[in-house]
Structure 1
């Protein structure tokens, strides 16, 4: 096991290296490459990853606490049972990532690419998905209470059986979303009805 504290790396290539079981505390990685890197069971604390490339990286069982992954590329990365606590993930791309068993506790996931993501039955309460692309995503039976979906794209997303109570749904086009059996509050029901052209007085 290794420990890095307050280290700064810029334009460093860590691709295909073995970085398992480490702890990163208040470290900064800018434009670094982690392509195919083994990062299983690492733990980060208040670290920053800016414009980094994690294509095909293995982040299984990793834990991230109040860390930031801004404008990073996670295409085809593996997040099996990974945990993100109060993290900032804005602008990052998760296309074709393995998300089985991922835990997302609050945090800011705005402007992320979650197209076709498998997030069914996940507890996503209070997560900020402002203008995120969740088109075609599976959110069936997910707990989405108090999440922020302002101007998010959920075209052809599956929200059947999800709990949306308290979530911000301004700008959503419910005509393109499978929302059968979802739980809503009164304010959301009004937005839902208006998206189908219902006039409410």
Structure 2
């Protein structure tokens, strides 16, 4: 099926579709299904996906600029070397997704399920992760400077050598993860001390 720019698609089934190397601009997809579709090297620009299902979809080397994927399901999807620039991913579920080599340039990943994601040495600078679930995520040596981690769930996350300077960490439970080797700024160090009962003047 040919996807037309600026067109709206509601509850369409694109499962197993072949969309490799296509370019989609300004299109809107509402509650559509893309299960096991082939979307390698797909370019989306200014597109909107709401409550869509991408279970098992191949999104390898796809590139998304200013697109929104809100409350979507990406269980088992493959994002190898995919790139997201200033995208809105709010409320989406990435359970068991393969995200090796992914690039995030800004954007809003609030309320997402990113449990056990492996983003070692990844640049996540300035990305918004408000209330995101990063349980057991591997973020060793990740650049999280200026990221928004407000009330993010960081239990058992690995952060060895990560840089958190400038990150917003309001409501984060510092006791739920190991901070060994993590770079903090003064405000974060004070918040950490207070979380352990210290009185800081």
The answer to whether the 8 A contact 1:4-1:23 is kept is no
Q: Which runs of 4+ in 1 moved over 6 A?
A: none
Structure 2: which 5+ residue stretches go unaligned? none
Structure 2 equivalent of residue 63 of structure 1: 63
**Aligned partner of residue 131 in structure 2, secondary structure:** coil
Say yes or no: does 1:117 pair with 2:117. yes
Say yes or no: does 1:31 pair with 2:31. yes
Count of aligned residue pairs for this structure pair = 200
TM-superposed CA distance for 1:65, in Å, is: 0.1
Say yes or no: does 1:165 pair with 2:158. no
Q: Normalized against structure 1, the TM-score is what?
A: 0.97
Structure 2 equivalent of residue 82 of structure 1: 82
Cα distance in structure 1, aligned partners of 2:151 and 2:49: 26
**Aligned partner of residue 192 in structure 1, secondary structure:** helix
Structure 1: which 5+ residue stretches go unaligned? none
User: Alpha-carbon deviations, 1:148-171, whole Å to 9, x = none?
Assistant: 000110001111110000000111
TM-superposed CA distance for 1:3, in Å, is: 6.6
Structure 2 equivalent of residue 107 of structure 1: 107
**Aligned partner of residue 4 in structure 1, secondary structure:** coil
CA RMSD in angstroms comes to: 0.9
TM-superposed CA distance for 1:126, in Å, is: 0.3
Q: Normalized against structure 2, the TM-score is what?
A: 0.97
